[in-house]
Each structure stands twice: as structure tokens, then as C-alpha cells.
Amino acid sequence: MQNIEITKIKNSRGAANTYVVKCNGKAVVIDAACSVKELKNALNGVQLAGVIITHGHFDHILTLDEILKAFPDIYCYLHKYAIDKLRDPIQNGSEPTVKQALIIQTDASRFKTVDEGDALELFDEKILILETPGHTNCSICIKIGGNIFAGDTLFAGGYYGRTDLPTGSAAQMRQSLRRLKKDFAGLPFYSGHGEEGII
């Protein structure tokens, strides 16, 4: 097991948590809701190797353009169904929720899609992608060492993400939660909103 350090950056405007995960001198960022300045503070000189998006909702991609511009050598990793949401303010929820269209401008060449079972090698610890549809069709959880980054799939206190938004599915959510509880019981999870918990 590698030495993994997790920093949580809370968003002051009510959007998602951003997590900076460091391992042996490299880091990845999970979701993009913090400012570049907050990200650089959290990195504290450690090299950023990539950004991973848990799903395509606006509150998780708020500052994606700025981050990808500030770090021109990295890629953004996300589920293939999240790609459409980046440039669609209805699908990413920005228009209906905050009446402000968020349309990601960054060139498509900066995005790489991930699928169930993919293992990203961005630093010394394997980054495992789990497809967990339900909150959206593009929701993934990310396993790094013994930690699960759950996006809006699972929340502290036994709560889970809403399934009534576009591409949500209560049936898929039940399946995804069952799978997480079966395969990863007892592991700590880090949510897109609020506090951490144990699966």
C-alpha cells in the first residue's frame, strides 16, 4: 500500500467538494469546484497528474476550464456519457438550478473517457474506475488504495444521490449501492457533498 494523502477543498458557493489526492510526489484532483489558487495551495508544489470528474453535473465541473488552462499538460478523465453534459447547460443542471448556463469550452482533445474496471496509472497507486449509474448515467466512483471517492452516489449518514434529474435512474441507483456495499463494505468514502463516511 502506498502512502496516500487526501485534502478536501470545500466550495464556498455551495458546490461540490474537490479532493486532492497525493501519492509519492504526484497528485490527482477529483472533481473541479475549487479555484486554481485553492488547488495550488493544496498541491503545495506537488505535481498534478490529472483531473477525474465523478459525473457531468455543473457543480462538479465549475472550474474545470480554469484548471485545465492552468495545467496545460494534464488530461481530464470522465465517463463517456459525461462528455455531452459538459457543453449542455440543461443536462449539466446549470440552467435549471442556478439559471446560469455553464458550457465547458476546453478542447475535446483534453478529455479521455474511462469505463468500468479501467485502472489509471497517474501515480504509484492504481486508480480504479467503477461505473455506478443511478444519480446520472455517467456517475463513477473512484477507488484509490483503500478509499472510495463516491461523487453524488453515496453520502454520509446513509443518504444517496437523487435520481430524478436527467439520466437518473432509481433502479440503477439501487444496483450501484448494492454493489458498493457488497464489494467495498468497511472502506471510507469521500462524497461530492458534505462529510465522509464508511461504506
Which residues make up the interface to Zn ion (CB under 5 A)?
Answer: 16, 57, 59, 152, 192
Nearest distance, CB of residue 149 and Zn ion, angstroms: 13
Nearest residue to the partner Zn ion, using Cβ:
57
Nearest distance, CB of residue 78 and Zn ion, angstroms: 13
Which residue, 58 or 111, has its beta carbon nearer to Zn ion? 58
Quote the CA–CA distance of 77 and 112 in Å, as a whole number. 5
Sign of the CA dihedral with 128 first, then 129, 132, and 136 last = positive
| DSSP character at residue 142 | E
Nearest distance, CB of residue 124 and Zn ion, angstroms: 29
Which residue carries 510526489 as its cell?
25
Which residue, 11 or 147, has its beta carbon nearer to Zn ion? 11
Which residue, 123 or 155, has its beta carbon nearer to Zn ion? 155
Q: How many helices (H) and strands (E) does the chain have?
A: 6, 12
C-alpha cell belonging to residue 130: 467503477
Which residue, 58 or 184, has its beta carbon nearer to Zn ion? 58
Nearest distance, CB of residue 98 and Zn ion, angstroms: 12
Residues 89, 168, 54, 145, Cα dihedral to 10° = 180
Q: Number of C-alpha atoms within 13 angstroms, CB side, residue 72?
A: 0
